[in-house]
C-alpha cells in the first residue's frame, strides 16, 4: 500500500471509532522514520486505547501489521507505527502539553 493510501486507511479507521481533531502532518523530508504522522484525540484512556487497537487490528487484517505499538498500558498517548504512517492517539491534556503539530508542522 502506498503511503497516501495508508494515510487514508488510518484516517478512516480512526473515524470509525470517533477519534477527534485528526491532523495529518507531512513529515517527508523532515525525518526518515515516516512520510506522515497522524495525530488525533480520544475522550478517555479507554477511548485512546480502543482507537489505537482498532487501527492496529484492522492494519493486521489488511496485511500490514504494525511495526510497533507503544503506550497501551497508560493509554494517555498511544503510538502505532505502520512504517510510512505513524499514528499518535492522545488524551487532550497530553496533546496540549506536547503540541506535536507545532513541533512537526513547521
Q: For residue 64, give its domain range.
A: 3-105
Tens place of pLDDT per residue across the chain (106 aa): 799 999 999 999 999 999 999 999 999 888 888 999 999 999 999 999 999 999 999 999 999 999 999 998 889 999 999 999 999 999 999 999 999 888 887 5
Q: What is the DSSP letter of 7?
A: H
- Secondary structure (DSSP) of 22-61: EEEEE-BTTBSS-SEEEEEEESSHHHHHHHHHHHHHHHHH
* pLDDT recorded at residue 103: 84
Count of structural domains within the chain: 1
* pLDDT recorded at residue 29: 86
CATH number of 55's domain: 3.30.460.10
Burial (0-12, 13-18, 19+ Cβ within 10 Å), 2: exposed
* Three-state secondary structure call for residue 3: helix
Amino acid at each position: 500500500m502506498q503511503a497516501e493510501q495508508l494515510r487514508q486507511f488510518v484516517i478512516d479507521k480512526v473515524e470509525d471509532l470517533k477519534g477527534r481533531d485528526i491532523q495529518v502532518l507531512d513529515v517527508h523530508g523532515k525525518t526518515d522514520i515516516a512520510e506522515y504522522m497522524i495525530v488525533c484525540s480520544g475522550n478517555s484512556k479507554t477511548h485512546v486505547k480502543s482507537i489505537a487497537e482498532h487501527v492496529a487490528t484492522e492494519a493486521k487484517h489488511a496485511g500490514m501489521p504494525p511495526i510497533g505499538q507503544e503506550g497501551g498500558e497508560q493509554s494517555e498517548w498511544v503510538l502505532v507505527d505502520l512504517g510510512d504512517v505513524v499514528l499518535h492517539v492522545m488524551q487532550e491534556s497530553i496533546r496540549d502539553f506536547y503540541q506535536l503539530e507545532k513541533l512537526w508542522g513547521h
